[in-house]
Amino acid sequence: MVATSPLLTFAVVAVATLGMFGPSTVDAHGRLMKPLAEYRGREPDSPVAALEGPQVLPPPSGKSYTGTPESNTEAFTTAFKASKYTTLRQFLNETLSAPKVVGQVFAENLDTKCGISRIGSPQPLPDQVEFGSGATTCV
């Protein structure tokens, strides 16, 4: 006779479930594949910079950027609309071009117009452009 306990049964079911729904390969990062863009020394999915949000664009009174994705989005949207910026491009250009960036810039020779894209000869556009993604493992 084999004795089992509810805890052992739960552990076996949990491990089996994690095996079914564990890490899987997904297409999480999309980019233009045709024509293929060129990047300066880094992967296309590499971050260009990380800004200190509360210092660069303080959240409105009573709000923060440490809540749920929805409340963070609401706080950012409210703060952005009340700011001097009219576009995200203007916000990033001015913030990343400041004499002392509040945060960390990862890209070398950052170009605020094109990020880490290599600016070379224009490529002819094909009859049909292709958008693709790279496979990555997400947990």
The β-bridge partners of 29 are 134
Residues 83 and 134 in one domain: no
The pLDDT tens digits for 25-44 are 444 566 777 777 776 666 66
Are 42 and 117 in contact by the 8 Å Cβ rule? The answer is no
Question: Do 46 and 89 lie in a common domain?
Answer: yes
Report the number of distinct structural domains present in the chain: 2
At 42 the pLDDT is 60
pLDDT of residue 8: 41
Q: Compute the distance between CA of residue 78 and CA of residue 81 in angstroms, rounded to an integer.
A: 5
Which range of residues forms the domain containing residue 47?
A: 42-119
Query: Residue range 3-8: average pLDDT?
Result: 45
pTM above 0.75, yes or no: no
Percent of the chain with pLDDT strictly greater than 90: 19
Coil vs helix vs strand at 50: strand
Average pLDDT score, the chain: 70
